[in-house]
Amino acid sequence: MKIIHTITELRAELAAYPSAPAFVPTMGNLHEGHLALIRQARLLIQGSGSPVVASIFVNRLQFGPHEDFDRYPRTLARDAELLDGAGCDIVFAPDEAELYPEPQGYQVQPPDAVANLLEGEFRPGFFTGVCTVVLKLFNIVQPRIAVFGKKDYQQLMVIRRMVAQLALPITIVPGDTARANDGLALSSRNGYLTDAERVEAVNLSLVLRSVQTAVSALRSAGGQTSPILVELESKATAQLRDRGWLPDYVALRRQKDLLPPTASELIGNEPLVTLAAAKIGKTRLIDNLEI
């Protein structure tokens, strides 16, 4: 596996391959969830002679002023070992001066309808930062396939729409969320948790399960006990608050556009997803479950 830090070197390296790569963008500090995406990328290009490329870049543009940009762990040597073991061929790890040699004045502004709800409401500018760096990385790596984890469910949707609207010749493939044995979604930010917070953290996924169970029960009862959507969401939010969390949201949404389902969609068979973001101590975690 090669570790490459500049755009020029990366382009020269990629030119030697017969076809375009499969790409997994990351911010490093990798865990099993990222490695599963690499293995998925490997399977997708099997037999084509294409390489699997991962990028490691902590993208300042997607962090708010009071977020964890400075303390986000930079662990390139360890990440490179893990990527090598997972079957990655090339790691692109530019420094900031390489990716943003001058202030990034041209930015991708995703529409409010996808970017200003849920994560976008609590992290203003987040999806502009994500879309800008992802489009730039796509232009540098020129992949034909890119794999994004469903753990960042809204990010996956925002990127898919960007790729569709800008007619980029890239297939976006979703990767399942990897979980610890107790059900906690794997995240680079889990490393910030104290031992006690780590024990508590599983309750984020348990609250989502309780929403999933409530919707399934409602659907199998033919909607007869119909609690309204807001009740489901506020009960789940209160469960977290009672346990000492600071929830930003627990939401039940349509998978296709992350908008609230109508009453008939709620009790019918519209594919839904329940999503949550909440702080435990100083650490903000997100998770979701498809229904």
Q: Which residues are catalytic?
A: 34
Sites of contact with ligand PAF (CB under 6 A): 25-27, 59, 62, 130, 133-134, 152, 155
**Amino acid letter, 72:** Y
Which is nearer to ligand PAF, 138 or 211 (by Cβ)?
138
- Name the token pair of 186: 């794997």
Which is nearer to ligand PAF, 130 or 211 (by Cβ)?
130
Minimum distance from residue 208 beta carbon to ligand PAF (Å):
19
Minimum distance from residue 37 beta carbon to ligand PAF (Å):
10
Minimum distance from residue 25 beta carbon to ligand PAF (Å):
4
Degrees to nearest 5, angle at CA 231 with 228 and 234: 150
Minimum distance from residue 234 beta carbon to ligand PAF (Å):
29
Q: What's the rounded Cα separation, in Å, for the pair 24 and 291?
A: 26
Which is nearer to ligand PAF, 204 or 267 (by Cβ)?
204
Q: What's the rounded Cα separation, in Å, for the pair 92 and 100?
A: 15
Strand-strand pairing, 90-92 and 283-290: unpaired
Integer-rounded Cα Rg, in Å, for the chain is 20
Which is nearer to ligand PAF, 56 or 211 (by Cβ)?
56
Taking Cα atoms as reference points, which of 58, 63, 54 lies closest to residue 25? 54
Distance in angstroms between the alpha carbons of the first and the last residue of the chain: 39
Asked if 133 and 270 count as a contact pair (C-beta separation under 8 A), the reply is: no
